[in-house]
Amino acid sequence: MAISVEENGRLFNLHTEDSTYQMYADECGVLLHTYYGKRTEGENLTGLIYQADVGFSGNPEEAAGNREYSLDCLPQELPSDGVGDYRESCISLLHEDGSMAADFRFEGYEIFPYSYKVEGMPALYDNGEETGETLVITMREKASNAAVRLFYGVFEKENIITRAVRVENRGKSGIVLAKCLSCCLDYQFGEYDLITFAGRHVMERTPERSRIRRTKLEVGSLRGTSSHQYNPSVILCAPETTEDSGECYGMCLAYSGNFTACAQKDQRGQTRALMGIHPEKFSFRLGEGDAFDAPQVILGYSDSGFAKLSQQYHKILREHMCRGKYQYTKRPVLLNSWEATYFDFNKEKLVALAELAADLGIEMLVLDDGWFGKRDDDNSGLGDWYVNEKKLGGSLKELGERIHGLGLKFGLWFEPEMVSEDSDLYRAHPDWALQIPGREPNRGRNQLVLDMSREDVRDYLYGRLADIVENAGIDYVKWDMNRSICDIYSHQYAGSRNGEVYHRFVLGVYDLMERFLNRFPDILLEGCSGGGGRFDAGMLYYSPQIWCSDNTDAVNRLEIQYGTSFFYPLSSMGSHVSAVPNHQTGRVTPFRTRGHVALSGSFGYELDLNKISEEEKAMVREQIKDFRRYDSLIREGDYYRLAAPGGRFCAWEFVDGKKEHALQILVMTSAEGNPLPVHTVVKGLLPDKNYRCSENGRAYSGKTWMGAGLTLHAVPKEYESVLIEWEMVDR
């Protein structure tokens, strides 16, 4: 059993193949966190907890005068606000009498032989024979009828533990939930670094590593989405941890809205890390019988470096978060019209583009922004999801039939959550937009945000999307979202309940996506928010691939895809070959390099095929053959980061599950006169098997390759790339 309970139902061990997570409900009813790390035999580890009389750290009444017992110093599973723990808390309550204490004590537990669900939100699910187990611990608030149910999921083989929280009002008096984080990890000993993934639009998810000290480290989003600026995933690690050695812990939030992740040492040098919905601008009223569910945090542990931790996340998200037909099915090679035409297109242009795409072996044409309403730029038309037949020169169905007739799939761009003030929808329903009465709203791209917490808004959007997709035989939808949210005011939750709107907005988006996918289960949905502004585990529940960044520059993409790879599988990263000079950076990189970088993701093109040379067209055919050949290796294989961006070159490697085939890609990022040789490491092979290398034709044992590495015959020039294979052979 992955979950064991001993000592009269007070000692809880969660075991994966390589790790143990232990809790103990002590004599005062406090649920202590005793251990998370390398797998143990499950012995009671409360002896690791050091207690002493610490000045200005008070004692709860259950301590019966024991001045060495203080919530301010103990490692806890549910640190609460206002009752003597002065560190960061997980939960804060406002009671009807105006008090704000939240003092929870252990009540009981349940165990279930399956994975739990989170109401209205994504969560890891059981997949065939690979099922999880669930422990639910109930905590009761001492002076009210509030209760908390702590959910712990265990995926034993995958080395993953999950956490979620449900707050219940079991009394007749209303309470307001002012803060509800999903996870707390307390570490009594050791020095730790915190790795966060920060950035901005078109430069997302750059790793930043900082030592955790007594000054709080915190990242998060108040933009209404998980954001380009900070990703809802962090790593805690020992200072000496590298790709291949050292302890590290991952925390990944399955949520697409406002979040916080923080870590800090306390007065005794203990480290506390927390993650969940951002408490700023958040409050949630719970009446009699109401409950609130906080999103799932996915925890991972590795005692042998970042590569193993990443591989655990890649596997669990690919196999237990992604869903639908395209969870495992090969993705079609697509051509997106955006950088080919922008808003300037008609049916003839699109059909000509599709004919050329089909000739080159591309499998799908995606029509991006501009096909609906009055939409010739980004200042009008959003919300009017009716086909502009005048612009297209006919119906979308007719266009779809032409494209399908060429043997291609047909995809379409939507931005359902937005509305232009210059639109029929806004003129008819101004109250459907999030904006504060009596104030001029902030505008992003001259658009406002629809109130997705409203069922009538979601019903309208569902009706329009479903009608268009069904009528035109759409095979793929790119679901975009192109501004941050502010001016929070919902006419439905006006007054004291506007603190619920950010969260209800996210629930509304999830609800609409779920309804849409239930109607069209075979469609390929690609998430997007100006590229990577909503690239999170929660969104993968609906879209197995997400447009990684609006930045298609191959050299910048090395950095973006490198940071993204720490948590998210390569199969989830939308990555395309685009034109040069690049439309974002002006950089010129070789066509082959652009193909190699895009190969490490869900592959496609973002350019005008009419403007590329015959030589480049031949390369398109070869790149598509490569994608088909390496698809399962890249999508399902183990991924290794070999050389980070920022040096002379960047390199990475894929190894298939049987370790019979390995693929390494290297991009030279700087050049110099009289160059030094380029030498790369090799990882993931079987030591006692032999492998032949495509670069030099030599066959050595896996042990030799991994020990000696590979020196390239020729030093690539700046921005050139090399693709190298190893295949198992009998020598």
State the catalytic residues.
Answer: 536, 616
**Beta carbons of 432 and 467 less than 8 angstroms apart:** no
β-strands 248-253, 233-237 pairing? antiparallel
Contacts of 120 (CB under 8 A, 6+ apart): 293, 507, 510, 511
User: In one letter, which amino acid is 324?
Assistant: G
- Cα 605-610-613 angle, rounded to 5 deg: 85
φ and ψ at residue 490, rounded to 5 degrees: -110, 130
Task: Starting at the earlier edge strand, list the strands of the sheet with 31-38.
Answer: 3-6, 11-15, 19-25, 31-38
Q: Is the peptide bond before 239 cis (omega within 30 degrees of 0)?
A: no
Tokens of 392: 């297209």
Among 668, 670, 671, which residue's Cα sits nearest to residue 650? 668
Q: How far apart are CA 506 and CA 456, in angstroms?
A: 16
Q: How far apart are CA 638 and CA 565, in angstroms?
A: 11
Q: How far apart are CA 384 and CA 330, in angstroms?
A: 33
Q: How far apart are CA 103 and CA 139, in angstroms?
A: 9
Can you spell out the DSSP letters for 310-358? HHHHHHHHHHHT--SGGGTSPPPPEEESHHHHTT---HHHHHHHHHHHH
Among 100, 155, 455, which residue's Cα sits nearest to residue 296? 155
How big is the chain, counted in residues? 731
- Cα 473-478-480 angle, rounded to 5 deg: 140
Q: How far apart are CA 370 and CA 391, in angstroms?
A: 9
β-strands 133-141, 104-112 pairing? antiparallel
Q: How far apart are CA 242 and CA 681, in angstroms?
A: 14
Q: Give the bridge partners for 527, in sequence order.
A: 479, 546
Q: How far apart are CA 3 and CA 161, in angstroms?
A: 11
β-strands 409-414, 418-420 pairing? unpaired
